[in-house]
Structure 1
Amino acid sequence: MRAAATLLAAVLLAGCAGSGALPGSLTVTELEQRLGAPAMRWSETDGGETLAYPEGPQGYRTWFVRSDASGHVVARDNVLVAAQFAKIQPQMREEDVLRLLGPPVPHWVTYFKARDELVWEWRYCDDWNEPARFDVMFDGRTRRVRSTYAASEDLRGLNWFGNFRGWCSR
């Protein structure tokens, strides 16, 4: 059921871009009626909001929908891209990472006791249009970023069922 809802959300988000719905003509309330509640939301300093819509538990995109102070949608962006990953810096807080990338895949959040390290992971399509994973490693005590790591699923040995490049087509 969740997968169907996620697919519907992705189709509707794409439909907003191609249906003639101009930025500012769709309100956050209308968007939530179409897509449901976002996985995360927060207020911006300009009075607007950012809503995070991940494409499901193993999707390749997380859409950030931004609104202005009047509640009208002004932007929609996939944040699981190299330019966003490059913004993650050592010592950033968990909250800062969430505001850049949205929530990680819940069942891929792992704590390594021997290293006292918490790892969050996202799935995305890399610049070569291949399924890939991006990890952020946090110090277990301070919950601050230690480092990051990105690699294709093929390089990680996770491409068990053959070539899935078609899944990443843009």
Structure 2
Amino acid sequence: MKPLSPASTLAALCLSLAACAQLPLAGDPAAIRSLADARRILGDPALRWSNPDGGEQLAFPQGPMGYRTWMVHTAADGRVLSMENVMSMAHFARILPGMSQDEVLRILGPSYPGWTVYYKARDELVWEWRYCDVWAEPARFDVLFDGRSATVRSTMSQPERLSQPWGRGDRREWCSP
């Protein structure tokens, strides 16, 4: 297999960045009007739930290194009723002690499996999501589940740079529009 030339590598990088830039803004009905549009633009949903009215709720995570999970709500005929990025403090605040794992999934969508950790000594399962915090910094949100009951024990979040030695790693440009 022949390696890519520097020009080809640069072109591929530009195309992939342009594709990311083309993701619609939350709630933009002009960009995504139907389930078919959502699948064409965002790909296949990671999770989907059927609603009693015949509509669906679909989760489209843009991770692991992305900062968005699009939650799309559709009517029975496939029209998009709403679409929003659920990687926000408003959605994180809805996660309360005692909630089930399914309830968390319906609010935030799936966490990245590679960041799921079980701590045997605490009998605790931790799910983690990446997001841009209110200061436009990459951050992580964790939900800690009791291992026995599989319900939320607590939550926490912190900017990614705090996990770097001496607070290095300011990546605010990654969260800029």
Residues 99-151 of structure 1: per-residue CA shift (max 9 Å, x gap):
00000011000000011100000010011111111000001111100000011
Identify if the C-alpha distance between structure 1 residues 5 and 103 changes in structure 2 by more than 3 Å, giving closer, same or farther.
Answer: farther
Partner of 1:92: 99
Change (3 A) 1:35 1:5: farther
Report the alpha carbon displacement of residue 167 of structure 1 after superposing the two structures with TM: 0.7
Instruction: Indicate whether 1:145 and 2:145 are aligned.
Output: no
> 5+ residue gaps in structure 2?
1-14
- Name the amino acid aligned to 2:30: A
Q: How many residues align?
A: 164
Give, as a single letter, the amino acid of the residue that structure 1 aligns with 2:101: E
* Structure 2 counterpart of 1:105, one-letter code: Y
- After superposition, the Cα gap between the structure-2 partners of 1:138 and 1:7, relative to the gap in structure 1 and judged at 3 Å, is farther
| Cα distance in 2 between the residues matched to 1:169 and 1:96 | 31
Residues in 1 aligned to 2:176 and 2:167: alpha-carbon distance in whole angstroms:
19
Cα contact 2:137–2:172 (8 A) shared by 1: yes
Instruction: Using the aligned pairs only, state the percent identity.
Output: 51
Q: Aligned Cα RMSD in Å?
A: 2.8
1:152 and 1:136, CA in 2 relative to 1: closer, same or farther beyond 3 A?
A: same
- Distance of aligned partners of 1:54 and 1:5 in 2 relative to their CA distance in 1, 3 Å threshold: farther
Report deviation, 1:164: 1.1
- Structure 2 length normalisation: TM-score? 0.80
Within 5 Å, which residues of 2 pair with 1:53-64?
A: 53-64=60-71
TM-score w.r.t. the length of structure 1 is: 0.83
Equivalent residue, structure 2, for 1:51 = 58
Larger radius of gyration: 2
1:115 alignment counterpart: 122
Give the conservation status (yes or no) of the 8 Å contact 2:63–2:130. Answer: no
Match of 2:30 among 21, 30, 45: 21
